[in-house]
Structure 1
Amino acid sequence: MELHFNLVQSAALALVLLALGEWARNRLSFLRRFCFPAPVIGGFLFALLVLLLRQTHIAEIDFDTSLQSPAMVAFFTTIGLAGSLASIKKGGKLLLVYLVACWTLAIMQNLIGIGMAKVMGINPVLGVMAGAVSLEGGHGAAAAFGPTAESMGVQGATTVAIASATFGLVAGSLLGGMTASFLVARHNVSIPERRGVRGAMATAGAIARNMATGRGPDLSITVPEDKPESVSTTKSKPGLDYSSLLTVAVVIGLVMVFGMALGNWISSLTGFALPDYVGAMIIAVVFRNLNDKFGWIRIDDETVSLVSQFTLGFFLTLAMMSLKIWELASLAGPLVVILVVELLFILSFAAFVVFRMLGRNYDAATMVAGFIGHGLGATPNALANMDAFNAKFGIRSERAFLIVPLAGAVLIDLVALPWIVWCLNWVG
């Protein structure tokens, strides 16, 4: 039996699966522990059902995923709108050092992936899919770049990227805090004083939990225990309203139009394939920083974050539920070898290079936990790793919780995405 879901049916199914994924994550502790995104939970489980129906010759199901592309472009536009270069000043020189480490990792992940793919006798584009696309980029980039690779004739690219991203998600969660603890013991790192930190630790835990569950950072201010009780414990913030949502929607729409036009123009001029979402992100970064300087309009960051969360969830669920998992069978062996080599590299790089670059202290160890978290998985994994590591010693690393989210969620893409695009054109 052949079943075809049209555009509306496919979109509705994606929303239902996204909601089911959120429901499952809120109720199963191991899903929260490893920071599994809701789209991965709902979409991947449905993809397994599709595989079961196909392999048992009961039914073959296909979907109309036309809405995946515009939702994907909208998501990367919101990433660009969050890319204020002024934020670099907040982290100082240490943020620049951490960014250099992140950019180096992205470059090396692709080079390792390409080299290992050639050694294993598979298409080197699949090495890129198992490199920075899925590891630095996570499931979002995997679902975004997979179709681009498949348009180059590389069958199974999306499935390889999603599988690699899932491997990285679990490995990054398991090994981040473990590696940081090893470094503290190995180098006899001194732990800062514990006085007056319980309130800060509660805030750190709330931030990590909210980021892991997709609710965004908790912006409430927790008063440390040694502060007077008369001090206000919360800071009121304006709620989401129609005006702010409309403003952000208009900006996103216009940036998408000009960004896609930029991508098409560059492609026609140079013959270099530039995906629509990369052009949109470039325009968004330029607009955001010009708007910061000249103050043309007010862009509410919370509204941008909400739109980003929804568009990511929607397009990623569409991508996950339409996965053709059976295409992975012939690539399983080479893929495992590539991912093991990638894993050994990031652990060695983090322990022997990044830790030393960042100062070989408690802040550096905390950032190593975050570095492994988002270097193999995603920013929520990084925050969860750092929260668990800091909770072990009862001390929150303020620098780490400022620098890692800025670098891992936004600023890394300034180099990683162009590098991925260049590699795809180079080997594809």
Structure 2
Amino acid sequence: MFEFKLDMYQAAGVAAVISWIGFWVVKKSAFLSKYCIPAPLVGGLIFALINTVLAASGIMTISLDTTLQNILMNAFFTTIGFSASIPLIKKGGKQILVILSLSVVVLTLQNVIGSGIASLFGIDPRLGLAVGSTALMGGPGTAAAFGAVMESPVYGVQGATVVGLAAATFGLVSGSMLGGPIMRRRLNKLTRMNKLALSQTAATNEEVEEKKAPIMIETNIDRFVSAAMFLALALGSGVVLSNIMAASGVTFPDYMGALVMGAVIRNVVEAIGHHHPNEEMEIIGEVSLSLFLAMALMGLKLWVLADLALPIIVILIAQVAFMFLFSYYVIFKLLGKNYESAVQTAGFIGYAMGSMSNAMANMQAITKKYGSAPTAFLAIPIGGMISDFFNAGVITFLLNFFTR
């Protein structure tokens, strides 16, 4: 069979094109837009389906150089490290720490559920991690990144990428569908108990419109240059730290050192009174994630899902049941059992099952009807963002634990 090979530059060009195709498809699809399905995921899946059909028909296969894909993956995770800001945690106070603590508990239990059920089916428990916090709390980006790590010669977990991305897509949809309905039940109970005073929490029309208006981020060239320099410093020093960590006898992903150094550099910069280019770093992270995710989808072997369909479905059903019970009976109560906690819980479900975009959509759907919840819109984005840092650490620990 003829094999058409894309070098790293051609792969980047094709990734850009399929990302644009994905944006067009998402824009035209009410379903994909409603559930915040990432455009690169859609475009990459279309490419993977075409490649699968070509291979199955014996015409040809398309392969790509993954050099740039690995660089983009490391850059993406390094920008996550830069999100771990101590001043931000202090600004949000106790509520952010509670959100963060709950996130660590949930992502750990997601992995326990995934690896446990996988073991019951007689498959590699590390593959169960791909249907745990890797895909759910982490989202498509983390699923693709850790899928590549799991499939590397160090671990040899075949099919981790396609399984993780399938689970992440399911999580994006279920996270949107669960958040609002679950918390509306709580809000209805609070209303019946006269504990929800709508007149006191009702947002003005201006507040509602402000939430709906897009956030305009002002950037400039100097801050972009600073962000790029900080990123390069974290990537370079991260290699040294990764080598030191590897010397301990535990295998760490290549990006782990850079992720940690990103957090260190940001907090040092803020401690000495300098401005950290947060918005510019987020843009760099978004660009890296979009191209990386598109490339990861381009190389998917979709036929792997056939043999693993039943275990994956069972694990995902268990994950949804767990999120429903834990959020309804535990998270809501620990966050305060009031209106703000209901909004926060809806947001928590959104990012714990998919992405921060789903979290914000869940919270806006509730506040548009019941009123403003300022604490929720501060605590959830910050707590959820920092949880990505801990998620990478927990997945790495469990991956090494099951590899022994």
Which category describes the TM-score, using the shorter chain as reference length? Answer: over 0.9
Q: Displacement of 1:31 after TM fit?
A: 1.7
Deviation at residue 122 of structure 1 after TM alignment = 0.6
Scaled by the length of structure 1, the TM-score of the pair is 0.89
- Alignment pair present for 1:415 and 2:395: no
2:335 and 2:305 mapped to 1: Cα distance? 39
- Partners of 2:119 and 2:393 in 1: CA distance: 22
Name the CA distance, whole Å, in 2 between partners of 1:24 and 1:175. Answer: 25
Structure 2 residue 209 is matched with structure 1 residue 184: no
Report the 3-state secondary structure (helix = DSSP H, G, I; strand = E; otherwise coil) of the residue aligned with 1:273.
coil
1:142 touches 1:161 (CA, 8 Å); kept in 2?
yes
Hey, what does 1:12 align to over in structure 2?
Answer: 13
Q: Offset at 1:30?
A: 2.0
Deviation by residue 1:285-325 (Cα, 9 ceiling, x = unmatched): 01111110113x54322211211110111111110111111
AA matched with 1:181:
R
Matched, 1:42 2:43: yes
Q: 1:200 aligns with which of 207, 211, 224?
A: 207
Q: Which residue of 1 aligns with 2:164?
A: 161
What is the CA–CA distance in structure 1 between the aligned matches of 2:314 and 2:189, rounded to whole Å? Answer: 29
Q: CA deviation at 1:200?
A: 1.3
Per-residue deviation, 1:154? 1.1
1:187 Cα offset (Å): 4.1
Q: How does 1:342-361 map to 2 (within 5 A)?
A: 342-361=319-338
Query: Who is 1:399 aligned against?
Result: 375
- Which whole-Å CA distance do the structure 1 matches of 2:13 and 2:173 have between them? 29
Write the letter of the residue equivalent to 2:196: S
| Cα distance in 1 for residues equivalent to 2:202 and 2:126 | 52
Instruction: After TM superposition, give the deviation of residue 280 of structure 1 in Å.
Output: 0.7
Cα 1:196–1:270 shift into 2, 3 Å: closer
The aligned runs of 1:4-403 (5 Å cut-off) are 4-151=5-152, 152-188=155-191, 189-193=195-199, 197-206=204-213, 218-219=215-216, 238-241=218-221, 243-267=222-246, 269-295=247-273, 298-393=275-370, 395-403=371-379
What secondary structure sits across from 2:255 in the alignment? helix
Whole-Å separation in 2 of the counterparts to 1:197 and 1:362? 17
Letter aligned with residue 240 of structure 1: N
Look up the SS of the partner of 2:36 in the other structure. Answer: coil
- Distance of 1:199 and 1:276 partners within structure 2: 47
SS in structure 2 of the partner of residue 370 of structure 1: helix
More divergent stretch after superposition (177-186 vs 161-170): 177-186
Aligned-partner Cα distance in 1 for 2:160–2:184:
36
| Matched residue SS, 1:170 | helix
Conserved in 2, the CA contact under 8 Å of 1:204 and 1:396? no
Given residue 99 of structure 1, which amino acid in structure 2 is its aligned partner?
A: L
TM-score normalised by the chain length of structure 2: 0.94
Given that 1:240 and 1:302 are in contact with CA atoms closer than 8 Å, whether structure 2 keeps it comes out as no
Inter-partner Cα distance in structure 2 for 1:98 and 1:303: 25
Q: Percent identity?
A: 38
Cα gap change, 1:196 to 1:156, in 2 (>3 Å): closer
Q: Gaps (5+ residues) in structure 1?
A: 211-217, 220-236
Change (3 A) 1:196 1:186: closer
| CA distance, structure 1, for counterparts of residue 150 and residue 126 of structure 2 | 7
1:6 touches 1:64 (CA, 8 Å); kept in 2? Answer: yes
Q: State the 1:191 CA deviation.
A: 4.0
Report the Cα offset of residue 339 of structure 1. 0.9
| Per-residue Cα deviation, 1:214-250 (whole angstroms, up to 9, x for no partner) | xxxx15xxxxxxxxxxxxxxxxx74322x22222111
Cα displacement string for residues 88-145 of structure 1 (whole angstroms, at most 9, x for unaligned residues)? 1222212211211111101111111111111111100011110010000000110110
Q: Which amino acid aligns with 2:232?
A: G
Which amino acid counterpart does residue 190 of structure 1 have in structure 2?
Answer: L
Question: CA-to-partner distance for each residue in 1:160-205, whole Å, 9 max, x for gaps?
Answer: 1111101101110111111111111234451432555221112223
- Tell me, in whole angstroms, the C-alpha distance in 2 between the residues paired with 1:406 and 1:104: 17
> Given the superposition, is the C-alpha separation of residues 93 and 330 from structure 1 closer, same or farther in structure 2, using an over 3 Å criterion?
same
Partners in 1 of 2:165 and 2:202 — Cα distance?
A: 44
Give the whole-Å Cα distance in 2 for the aligned partners of 1:158 and 1:384.
27
Residue type at the aligned position of 1:367: Q
CA contact (8 A) 2:78 2:235 kept: yes
Q: What is the CA-CA distance between 1:261 and the residue it aligns to?
A: 2.1
Deviation at 1:67, TM superposition (A): 0.4
User: Counterpart of 1:412 in 2: which secondary structure?
Assistant: helix
CA contact (8 A) 1:184 1:362 kept: yes
Alignment partners' CA distance in 1, 2:136 and 2:181: 19
- The 1:94/1:390 distance shift into structure 2, 3 A limit, reads same
CA RMSD of aligned residues (A): 1.5
Farther off after superposition, 149-158 or 17-26: 17-26
Unaligned stretches of 5+ in structure 2? none
Inter-partner Cα distance in structure 2 for 1:406 and 1:28 = 30
The amino acid across from 1:405 in the alignment is P
